[in-house]
Structure formats: structure tokens, C-alpha cells
Amino acid sequence: MICFAMTRSKMVTHEPLLKLPGTPDVRLWSYDRIFAADSLPRATWVFTDMDRLGFWDLELAALAYRLLEAAGVKCLNDPARACQRASLLRRLRGAGLNRFGVWRVADGEWPDAWPVFLRTDSGHRGPLGDLLYDRTALEGAIDGAIAAGHPSRELLVVEYCAQPIRDQLFHKRAVFRVGETMVPTLGVFDEYWSAKRGKLGVAGLALYEAEFTELRENRFGDPLRPAFELGAIEYGRADFALVDGAPQVYEINTNPTIGRVREHPHPPRMEAARHCERRFAEALHGIDSPHGGKAVALDTRPFDKQRRKDSRLGTAHWTP
């Protein structure tokens, strides 16, 4: 059995796994449910969505990880070690794997390269606006973002680093890590540089066929492994693109949407989707653990304190 830990509002991302053919027994646990529990079942535990946790929740998640691990339970993604976006991007640039910079607004940092764009560290909403080409434009964008309610501590300035594969067509690729297995997965083709969701059929038959070949070969699995290692992430999806032939990693999402392609105008895209689903299911079997045995007690003081406060407040979960 594999238990995925995630925030309650984002459990929908992995719900398709419950119906994906060939997968082992998968259970989805919200952090609220974990923190309210007296004990947790023996299974493989995969901690995700840490960027959406407040400091107290993150501490409790890290403590749960340690209690499970000490009891001999297989765990992926230590909440106390896994990097969020800005930290990961800085590590990747420092290691020479990425060529673009990132700066924190709250720390008074300003870019030394242009163009840039504004985004949030924890959110997965994509850029906050279009590309910015000078400091005046950036200052205005920052003021606007804060006026709209985005906390300054969340705001990042990211150097633009993308390259169209042909005139006004961008290809954002992706690869999963599931334990020690690197799993190819579908990317997106889009006419806009951020390529957040993609545009149906925009690439054309030849590019979809080339993508299928690339996925069958798992061409970027091993090259992307060091990025996961630098980020201390054992489960997640790296989103990246090629710039002058070199992979540039934009993020590693520990709670990505496990989507399923139901229909597409080009058959190779459908074949590629089924191929990736099979590989993903196989990788899940590689981290699966038998269900059963004595449950792991969450009997330390922080969890006792949490449960007492939940009970007193009459809520499912309370955060100081």
C-alpha cells in the first residue's frame, strides 16, 4: 500500500491514481487527517505538497516522517529537507545545471539580467503577468502584486529562460521521479512562453511522434536525476525545457496533477499517454510496501498538543 500525504484542498491532484490501471493499492491522506490521528498504518508514505504548509504543519509533517521512518516504514520526501522553488532554483544554478537566476523581493534583491517575470514561491499559478524588461517595470509589477494581496515574502523575480522550438511554439517537458525510478511523462506544447497548460493539437503530427520517441527512450530521465538529488526530492515531477540543447528546470512539483489524456486529434499523443501511464504504474509497484502489522503511534508531545487543541476548538485541525 502507498499512502500519499497532501493538503486537503489539493487531494484532487492524485485522485486519478485511484482508477489508473495496474497501480498498487493507493490511499490519499490529508495532513489534517494525519495530524489528528493517533497512529498511521504501515505502508509506503510519500509526503507531498510541503510548499503549501505553514511552519507548524511543516514541523508536524517532518515529525510524522521521522516517527514512521524510525518504525521501519519506507518514506519518501523528508519535509524537513525537501526544497521549495526558490531554494531549488538557486541550488541548480549554483551547481551549473541551470543558467538562470532567481531573486527574493522580501530580501531586497534585484536582478542583474533581463527580461524577468514575477511569480510566487509557494503557489502554482504561473507568472504574475508578462515579461519585464527594466527596473521601472519590475518595481511597478511588485507594487501591483502587493496591492493585490500577494505577500512580499512570497514574491520571486525569475530570469526568463525559454526558447521556442519553432516560430512561437514552446515545448515544456516533464519527468517524474518515483523512488529510484525516473519516469517519462507528457509535456505541453503552447504558443505562449510560460506553457502553463498547453494548447490541444498545436504541435502537429511530426512533433507528437518525435515526443513519443523521446518518451520511449526516457531520454531525460538520468540527466534530470541530479536536480532531484539537489532538491532532496524522491517523489515529484520536474518541469523543464531545452535551451540551446541543455535542460533548464523550472520547478519540481511534489504534488502534480496526475492527468489522463482521454482524447486527442493525433494518435501518437494517445499512445504516448498510455505508455507513460504504464511506466508510472510500474514505478509505483517499485516503492510499494505490504499493508499490515502494528500501526505506528503518533504519541509524541507535539501531536498530543495538536489533538488537544483540535478537540478544544472543535475543529479538524488547528495551527498556532
The structural domains of the chain, with segments of one domain joined by +, span 2-80+290-313, 101-159, 170-287
CA distance 161 to 66: 38
Q: What is the pTM of this model?
A: 0.93
The pLDDT of residue 318: 40
Query: Quick check: do 101-159 and 170-287 share a fold?
Result: no
The pLDDT of residue 46: 98
CA distance 233 to 76: 8
The CATH fold of domain 170-287:
D-amino Acid Aminotransferase; Chain A, domain 1 (3.30.470)
The pLDDT of residue 310: 67
The pLDDT profile of the chain, 320 residues, written as one tens digit per residue, is: 999 999 999 999 999 999 899 999 999 999 999 999 999 999 999 999 999 999 999 999 999 999 999 999 999 999 999 999 999 999 999 999 999 999 999 999 999 999 999 999 998 888 999 999 999 999 999 999 999 999 999 999 999 999 999 988 999 999 999 999 999 999 999 999 988 877 888 889 999 999 999 999 999 999 999 999 999 999 999 999 999 999 999 999 999 999 888 889 899 999 999 999 999 999 999 999 998 889 999 988 788 777 776 665 555 544 33
Which single residue is written with the C-alpha cell 489524456?
261
- Please name the residues in contact with 171: beta carbons below 8 A apart, sequence gap of 6 or more: 165, 187, 188, 189, 195, 203, 207, 211, 241, 242
The CATH fold of domain 101-159:
Dna Ligase; domain 1 (3.30.1490)
